[in-house]
Homo-oligomer: A and B are copies of this chain.
Amino acid sequence: MAKYEQLAAQIRQQIESGIWRAGERMPSLRKQTEHSGMSLMTVMHAYQLLESQGWLIAHPRSGYTVADNIQSVTEPEKAAVETAESVDINSFIFDVLQASRKPYMVNFGFAYPDPGLYPRHQVNKSLMHAARNLPVSNALDNLPPGNDTLRTMIAQRYAAKGVNISPDEIVITAGALEALNLSLQAVTRPGDWVVVESPTFYGALQSLERFGLKALSVRTDPKTGIDLDSLERAFQSHPVKACWLMTNHQNPLGFTLTEGKKRRLISLLKKYQVALIEDDVYSELYAGTEQPLPAKAFDTTGNVMLCSSFSKSLVAGYRIGWVAAGKRAMDIQKLQLMSTLTTSVPIQLALVDYLNTRHYERHLKQLRRTLDKRKKTMCQLLSRTLPPSVEIIHSEGGYFVWLILPQHADAMAIYAQALAENITLAPGDMFSPGTQFNHCLRLNTSFELDERHTQAIHQLSRIIQLHIGHSH
Q: Evaluate whether A340 and B178 lie within 8 angstroms (CB atoms) in the complex, with A100-B140, A317-B139, A318-B137 already known.
A: yes
For the complex, is A120 an interface residue (Cβ under 8 Å from B)? yes
For the complex, is A76 an interface residue (Cβ under 8 Å from B)? no
A174 CB contacts on chain B under 8 angstroms: 174, 319, 340-341, 344
Q: Please tell me which stretch of A16-24, A91-99, A406-414 contacts chain B, meaning at least 4 of its Cβ atoms lie within 8 angstroms of it.
A: A91-99
Distance in angstroms from A216 CB to nearest chain B CB is 20
Q: Is the CB of A339 within 8 A of B181?
A: yes
Q: Is the CB of B334 within 8 A of A175?
A: no
Q: Is the CB of B339 within 8 A of A178?
A: yes
Q: Is the CB of A311 within 8 A of B139?
A: yes
| Cβ contacts A108-125/B at 8 Å (1 or 0 each) | 001010011010100111
Q: Evaluate whether A132 and B128 lie within 8 angstroms (CB atoms) in the complex, with A210-B185, A317-B142 already known.
A: yes
| Cβ contacts A148-161/B at 8 Å (1 or 0 each) | 00000000000000
Q: Is the CB of B127 within 8 A of A315?
A: no
Q: Is the CB of A316 within 8 A of B139?
A: yes
Q: Evaluate whether A97 and B344 lie within 8 angstroms (CB atoms) in the complex, with A82-B330, A127-B127, A134-B124 already known.
A: no
- Alpha-carbon separation in the docked complex, A242 to B343 (Å): 28
How many identical chains are in the complex? Answer: 2
Q: Is the CB of A131 within 8 A of B131?
A: yes
- Alpha-carbon separation in the docked complex, A382 to B207 (Å): 49
For the complex, is A143 an interface residue (Cβ under 8 Å from B)? yes
- Alpha-carbon separation in the docked complex, A344 to B175 (Å): 9
Q: Is the CB of A101 within 8 A of B141?
A: yes
Q: Evaluate whether A90 and B334 lie within 8 angstroms (CB atoms) in the complex, with A140-B100, A140-B101, A190-B190 already known.
A: yes
- Alpha-carbon separation in the docked complex, A166 to B141 (Å): 36
- Alpha-carbon separation in the docked complex, A448 to B126 (Å): 34
A343 CB contacts on chain B under 8 angstroms: 319
Q: Evaluate whether A137 and B316 lie within 8 angstroms (CB atoms) in the complex, with A81-B330, A127-B127 already known.
A: yes
Q: Is the CB of B347 within 8 A of A344?
A: yes
For the complex, is A48 an interface residue (Cβ under 8 Å from B)? no
**CB interface residues, A 338-355, toward B, < 8 Å:** 338-347, 350
Binding site for B on A (CB under 8 A): 81-82, 87, 90-91, 93-94, 97-98, 100-101, 107, 110, 112, 115-116, 118, 120, 123-125, 127-128, 131-132, 134, 136-143, 174-175, 177-178, 181, 185, 190, 203, 206-207, 210, 212, 311, 315-319, 330, 333-335, 337-347, 350
